[in-house]
């Protein structure tokens, strides 16, 4: 079963073409009507290219662990 983070990512980042950079993720999440809290988390991600949703999920998990 997918974690809550993975489910949230799939819902809010539907339609993203990987590899995608942080700005791409923010733009698609905004287009998909993601909540401000989710957008804020994406804005905290390192400015890099992500190869897939799993890589984004890992980066968000790391942010949550640090915060």
Count of beta carbons in the 10 Å neighbourhood of residue 39: 14
Kindly report the pTM of this predicted structure. 0.89
What crossing angle do the helices spanning 53-66 and 4-12 adopt, rounded to 10°?
120
Digit-coded pLDDT (tens) for 2-45: 677 789 999 999 999 999 999 999 999 999 999 999 999 999 99
- Residue whose tokens read 């890099």: 48
């Amino acid at each position: 079963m997918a974690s809550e983070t993975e489910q949230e990512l799939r819902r809010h980042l539907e339609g993203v073409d990987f590899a995608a950079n942080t700005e791409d993720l923010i733009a698609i999440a905004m287009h998909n009507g993601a909540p401000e809290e989710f957008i804020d988390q994406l804005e905290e991600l390192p400015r890099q290219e992500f190869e897939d949703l799993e890589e984004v999920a890992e980066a968000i998990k790391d942010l949550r662990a640090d915060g």
